[in-house]
Amino acid sequence: MTTMTEASVREFKMPDVGEGLTEAEILKWYVQPGDTVTDGQVVCEVETAKAAVELPIPYDGVVHALHFAEGTTVDVGTSIIAVDVSGGSAGTAPVAAAPAAEALPEQATAPAPVAPAAPAAAAVAEEPKKEARQPVLVGYGVSTSATRRRPRKGAPAADGAQAAGAIQAELNGHAAPAPVPVPEAPAASRPLAKPPVRKLAKDLGVDLALVVPSGKDGVITREDVHAAVAPVAPAPVETAAAPVAVPAAPAPVGQEGAGARETRVPVKGVRKATAQAMIGSAFTAPHVTEFVTVDVTRTMKLVEELKQDKEFQGLRVNPLLLIAKALLVAIRRNPEINAAWDEANQEIVLKHYVNLGIAAATPRGLLVPNIKDADAKTLPQLAGALGELVSTAREGRTSPAAMQGGTVTITNVGVFGVDTGTPILNPGESAILAVGAIRLQPWVHKGKVKPRQVTTLALSFDHRLVDGELGSKVLADTAAILENPKRLMTWA
């Protein structure tokens, strides 16, 4: 029989990823007060401005309190969950979403137990303390099995707590209050779903525990989430106020109904980080954008040939692969463009490696992961890296490290049917290439007008370190390779 003390409660703080991020939003709690947790067990999923990640608890014990509700943005270093590590749950109060200031309840400073309880307390005091582990923000693949909620302690523990409370009450001169029975929480499996699907379910107000999975191995898909809300979407007007089993998605700030003339959406997560980065880039680096329209018919034929090559079996082969390779060769011929501006030291930092960023539209927003040392990769290696980068981004598994250290970026706006654009530099980079849609157009070829595959490229660059001549050479070389891909051999 133990009474929880302040020393037995460990506070787990929102960890720092070491990438300069200062806050994260709690997307989902996987535990509740009273649940038993073990060292390394995932207790919640959070979303930073760069990635959605799962947090494991570094303690063994019983959850005492959750300090913040789902959907709350919490500063790094703020305690988010309290765990009683004393080895029992007699003194644990199920406090859900309690304020941080109420993390330690009154029993933490209660008088010491009377003599009968002293031996047990002494035994706890003599138990060697476990060395505290520095909490870190972890990416994907932490948990190898589904997280399960464990049942709370049963009647024996409650009887012990009641007896201890009665003895203490007698010493204080008043009767002990009657215990309030707490129903035992049933064990529940954590629904299997990828981070983008969890985010979609959160936005739509869908409880994943109520969704019937249709994916492989019981994984919930986006279609499953949409199907869960489909029955309540077309509700008739006369029954709109009737309660429904699935809670409705929370309306954005300022939306009062379907006929509202304005809707306010809080800016946070990836959208907030993107906005801040673009403002910083646009008003720091003087942008210049140049354009070139090029016949890429030969490149498109080469793409079809490479798809049949056994060296590319199982790899993603598309025009973006050869466009990326063309840009890398152009940078090798004009290495001064692969640089960064050091404002503090008033220096131009030349990079002798190319970390090639690929702008990717994901369910969480625009992300720009990069391929490390892309210039040193063969064409099949580059194809494999591109395929992995795209699939990881679409699944919402892009790590913060994958988006650090980029030098030059490609944004493929052509996939949206757009001819081209004037892209803004990724902060800290020297250039970004926008690739437009590849269309069959009339083109003068060998003195005759013929239908040819044509696209428009746009290169934006930082005019502090890249002058017009250098930027023009890089763009012209990229276009020349795409017009005649044999130059990949003669110029490489």
Query: And the tokens for 230?
Result: 């489909």
Strands (E), 48-102: 52-56, 61-66, 73-75, 79-84
How much is the pLDDT for 325?
97
Residue 382: strand, helix, or coil: helix
3-state secondary structure string across 181-224: CCCCCCCCECCEECHHHHHHHHHHCCCHHHCCCCCHHHEECHHH
CATH 3.30.559.10 maps onto the chain at 270-490
The helix-helix angle for 297-307 and 468-483 (nearest 10°) equals 60
Contacts of 79 (CB under 8 A, 6+ apart): 11, 12, 13, 14, 67, 100, 103
Residue 472: CB atoms within 10 Å: 17
How much is the pLDDT for 202?
75
Closest Cα partner for 320 from 360, 280, 273, 267? Answer: 360
368 in Cβ contact with 374 (< 8 Å): no
| Alpha carbon distance 426, 358 (integer Å) | 11
How much is the pLDDT for 48?
76
Give, in order, the Cα–Cα distances in Å from 37 to each of 6, 33, 60, 87. Answer: 19, 10, 6, 11
Residue 345: CB atoms within 10 Å: 8
Bridge partners (DSSP) of residue 462 are 287
The DSSP 8-state label assigned to residue 362 in this structure reads E
Closest Cα partner for 7 from 87, 71, 79? Answer: 87
| Alpha carbon distance 210, 191 (integer Å) | 9
CATH 2.40.50.100 maps onto the chain at 6-172
| Alpha carbon distance 323, 459 (integer Å) | 13
CATH 4.10.320.10 maps onto the chain at 192-252
How much is the pLDDT for 215?
79
285 in Cβ contact with 341 (< 8 Å): yes
At the topology level, CATH places domain 192-252 in Dihydrolipoamide Transferase (4.10.320)
Show which residues are catalytic.
Answer: 463
Q: Which CATH class is domain 270-490?
A: alpha beta
pLDDT in tens, the chain (492 residues): 445 556 689 999 988 755 567 888 888 999 999 999 998 898 998 887 667 788 889 889 999 999 999 988 888 889 999 999 886 544 444 444 434 333 334 443 444 444 444 444 344 344 444 444 444 433 333 444 444 444 444 444 444 444 444 444 444 444 444 444 444 444 446 778 777 777 777 777 777 777 878 877 778 887 777 777 654 333 333 333 333 333 344 445 444 556 788 888 887 777 777 777 888 888 888 999 999 999 999 999 999 999 999 999 999 999 999 999 999 999 999 999 999 999 889 899 999 999 999 998 877 778 899 999 999 999 999 999 999 998 888 887 888 888 889 999 999 999 999 999 999 999 899 999 999 999 999 999 999 999 999 999 999 999 999 999 999 999 999 999 999 999 999 997
At the topology level, CATH places domain 6-172 in OB fold (Dihydrolipoamide Acetyltransferase, E2P) (2.40.50)
51 in Cβ contact with 74 (< 8 Å): no
